[in-house]
A and B are shown apart, each in its own frame.
Chain A
């Protein structure tokens, strides 16, 4: 008796596919999906959560490592992180991955959570005019105001933009200029770009624990691939715009593809041995999330849609979302052979999509800004999310959870996507089509002629019926009548019921009679003629009579019923009654 509510509770719980493992609303984690990763940092089989925390305001940038529900370590970062990846840089044992944090023009490499190496992007070309002007300033040949004027002239005209130093100088108040020039004029001018996104690419093996190269996208619209050990630039590619999101597959030495979403709203696909993008996908709005699922690319767009493309740029589908996308990630469960897309929305929901069907919806307490799925600790299907308010949510996929395509809430019914088994065109069909195409005019004429004849025949029959009042409906204005007949019984005697109705609005009908016409060898009727009483409009008058079948040969005939008006020979109504075969006679 008490087990009933218990079971109900159980079914409600089991309908959820996720276990709430941990929620800390004040974890003080402010980050994005590009700065969050899961890695086995100590080689002990337990994955840690590595987060590049952007902090609040200008400071507090930290590299944080979580183990289970607690913070394991914290390293201060010098600048805002733009991307964070873990990768294996060498073959040494134990195989512990390094962490690469991209911030500004640098990549900081950490091994064992200690700073290990700093990579700096190559300098960009400096405008020679700007160089000249600063050389003059160094020789005290021009005063700061002239310097300012000349730099402004260069800024407005030149193809190569000014360095950061000159740009900052142009922002200064006149009284600050002198000291600024004196402080900086001895140093050479440098122009640097910054990193916008970072990814990893396996060097020459496809294994999970293979050495990986770093792939970086920069503000100067370039993609660099770095050697994992020497940190030399292995390859450089240029893009038409600034990359913002990146996905890399393949191996550097064999064949690889880099899918980049750019700030101009296009997606470019780069391949090995091509300096320029191979394919371009033009989106209708800006991309905010990019996930590759097998050979297809799924993009979350700013206009609340999610679109899927093949790698060659062919559009597969579009889904409309209930709210703007904040971030996206891939849900990959290789042990179960399941892949899906996680989409975090601005309405505090995370949707799990398999192709364009929602298979699960997770409600969160706050807007999710970063999302990461994978092995955390010792649990394979862990979903890690951080929120706008700095919270950390950890959910674990149930072992028994089954994602069913059918339980999608919205979208077209499944029947719509089932292809009908249409048979191939037969030779007969093709010949017929050819004939119809060649003789269209003649066929149309023949059809029209036959149609006209049919109409003429129908009209003639109708007129004839009207003239001889052969119809069971009387159309004359003085006696509008309706009649139907019912035959009951198995035979040899049948009961014939005639239902007569006056359909006029208010006028009664008088002086009517009914007469029957039949084959007297076949049937006999007690009264073949009788008078009808006055018919009140609207009422139904049943009139019964009995018919005796005389034949035992199992044949039947038609009995004609005429409704007549006294003093007139043409009937008002005619009804033909198809008599049934007498079955009772055989019994006698």
Chain B
């Protein structure tokens, strides 16, 4: 069976599985992003605040993603750290129109980066500066400044502005993540 799997892998028939954590504050659009990335026939119509977490799956050209869509509400954020070990990549979603809570997002990001399960691993982090369509939204450059992303030196990271409701900017981010994961494996 192992041999068959390997053979399928060489031939590119079977896609590699990766576990991805989707983190970010409440109301930043994590579930909406994951929902947009799923095939259109599997998409949900109504997005409600996530309780605890939910596991979603979607596929790209070469990878099969298993996403842990964590709840961003304050009382569930202490669950995040229990899944850091399993995660091979992180998607961090920021509501770029919520200037007030940018410090909270930064605080949660710093806690994440200093966690022993994450600190010394070279896992790629993809940032979505979501809700770019809103009038008072900050640019992705401004968001990366406010979150001090330039201080992340030991991990590959990428930020892209997105509008999860319309699906804009998501593909760019996922393509980057896919490249990163493939280079990491080889």
Seen from chain A, the residues whose Cβ lies within 8 Å of a Cβ on chain B are: 10, 19-22, 68-70, 335, 376-380, 394, 396, 398-400
Contact A19 B107 (CB under 8 A): yes
B38 at the interface (CB under 8 A from A): no
Given A10-B114, A378-B27, A380-B74, A398–B107 Cβ distance below 8 Å?
yes
Given A10-B114, A335-B75, A399-B77, A378–B101 Cβ distance below 8 Å?
yes
Once the chains are docked, how many angstroms separate the CA of A75 from the CA of B111? 42
| Shortest Cβ distance from residue A455 to the other chain B in the assembled complex, whole angstroms | 75
Contact B100 A377 (CB under 8 A): yes
In the complex, chain A residues whose CB is within 8 Å of the CB of B74: 335, 379-380, 399
Given A378-B26, A380-B74, A399-B74, A68–B99 Cβ distance below 8 Å?
yes
In the complex, chain A residues whose CB is within 8 Å of the CB of B136: 68, 70
Contact B100 A379 (CB under 8 A): yes
Which of B58-107 touch A at CB < 8 Å?
A: 74-75, 77-78, 98-104, 107
Once the chains are docked, how many angstroms separate the CA of A69 from the CA of B103? 12
Once the chains are docked, how many angstroms separate the CA of A399 from the CA of B78? 9
Once the chains are docked, how many angstroms separate the CA of A396 from the CA of B101? 8
In the complex, chain B residues whose CB is within 8 Å of the CB of A68: 98-100, 136
Once the chains are docked, how many angstroms separate the CA of A19 from the CA of B108? 11
**Chain A: CB-nearest residue to B28:** A378
Chain B contact residue count (CB 8 A cutoff): 20
| Shortest Cβ distance from residue B92 to the other chain A in the assembled complex, whole angstroms | 16
Q: Identify the 5 closest CB pairs spanning chains A and B, nearest first.
A: A19-B103, A68-B100, A69-B99, A21-B103, A21-B100
| Shortest Cβ distance from residue B54 to the other chain A in the assembled complex, whole angstroms | 20
In the complex, chain B residues whose CB is within 8 Å of the CB of A398: 107
In the complex, chain B residues whose CB is within 8 Å of the CB of A70: 136
Given A378-B26, A378-B27, A400-B111, A21–B101 Cβ distance below 8 Å?
yes
**Chain B: CB-nearest residue to A394:** B100
In the complex, chain B residues whose CB is within 8 Å of the CB of A399: 74, 77-78, 104, 107-108
**Chain A: CB-nearest residue to B49:** A45
**Chain B: CB-nearest residue to A68:** B100
CB pairs A–B below 8 angstroms (10 shown): A19-B104, A21-B101, A68-B99, A377-B100, A379-B104, A394-B100, A396-B101, A396-B103, A399-B78, A400-B111
In the complex, chain A residues whose CB is within 8 Å of the CB of B25: 378
Which of B77, B98, B100: most chain A Cβ within 10 A? B100
| Shortest Cβ distance from residue B53 to the other chain A in the assembled complex, whole angstroms | 17
Once the chains are docked, how many angstroms separate the CA of A10 from the CA of B119? 14
Contact B101 A379 (CB under 8 A): yes
| Shortest Cβ distance from residue B116 to the other chain A in the assembled complex, whole angstroms | 13
Once the chains are docked, how many angstroms separate the CA of A379 from the CA of B101? 8
Once the chains are docked, how many angstroms separate the CA of A19 from the CA of B147? 13
| Shortest Cβ distance from residue B145 to the other chain A in the assembled complex, whole angstroms | 16
Once the chains are docked, how many angstroms separate the CA of A399 from the CA of B102? 14
Once the chains are docked, how many angstroms separate the CA of A380 from the CA of B74? 9
Once the chains are docked, how many angstroms separate the CA of A361 from the CA of B101? 22
Which of A19, A68, A378: most chain B Cβ within 10 A? A378
In the complex, chain B residues whose CB is within 8 Å of the CB of A22: 99-100
Once the chains are docked, how many angstroms separate the CA of A68 from the CA of B101? 8
Given A380-B74, A399-B74, A21–B114 Cβ distance below 8 Å?
no
Once the chains are docked, how many angstroms separate the CA of A225 from the CA of B78? 44
**Chain A: CB-nearest residue to B101:** A379
Once the chains are docked, how many angstroms separate the CA of A177 from the CA of B75? 69
Once the chains are docked, how many angstroms separate the CA of A160 from the CA of B131? 64
**Chain B: CB-nearest residue to A381:** B74
In the complex, chain A residues whose CB is within 8 Å of the CB of B114: 10
Once the chains are docked, how many angstroms separate the CA of A302 from the CA of B26? 43
Contact with A along B142-154 (1 / 0, CB 8 A): 0000000000000
Contact A377 B111 (CB under 8 A): no
Which of B25, B78, B104, B107: most chain A Cβ within 10 A? B104
Once the chains are docked, how many angstroms separate the CA of A69 from the CA of B102? 11
Once the chains are docked, how many angstroms separate the CA of A20 from the CA of B101? 10
| Shortest Cβ distance from residue A381 to the other chain B in the assembled complex, whole angstroms | 8
In the complex, chain A residues whose CB is within 8 Å of the CB of B99: 22, 68-69
Given contacts A70-B136, A376-B100, A378-B101, could you give 9 more A-B pairs where the C-beta distance is less than 8 Å? A21-B103, A68-B100, A335-B74, A377-B98, A377-B100, A394-B100, A396-B100, A398-B107, A399-B78
Once the chains are docked, how many angstroms separate the CA of A439 from the CA of B77? 73
Contact B103 A20 (CB under 8 A): yes
Once the chains are docked, how many angstroms separate the CA of A385 from the CA of B31? 34
Once the chains are docked, how many angstroms separate the CA of A20 from the CA of B104? 9
In the complex, chain B residues whose CB is within 8 Å of the CB of A376: 100
Which of B124-168 touch A at CB < 8 Å?
A: 136
Once the chains are docked, how many angstroms separate the CA of A399 from the CA of B104? 9
Once the chains are docked, how many angstroms separate the CA of A69 from the CA of B136? 11
**Chain A: CB-nearest residue to B136:** A70
In the complex, chain A residues whose CB is within 8 Å of the CB of B110: 10
In the complex, chain B residues whose CB is within 8 Å of the CB of A396: 100-101, 103-104
Which of B77, B98, B110: most chain A Cβ within 10 A? B98
Which of B26, B75, B107: most chain A Cβ within 10 A? B107
Once the chains are docked, how many angstroms separate the CA of A398 from the CA of B105? 11
Once the chains are docked, how many angstroms separate the CA of A580 from the CA of B100? 86
| Shortest Cβ distance from residue B46 to the other chain A in the assembled complex, whole angstroms | 16
**Chain A: CB-nearest residue to B103:** A19
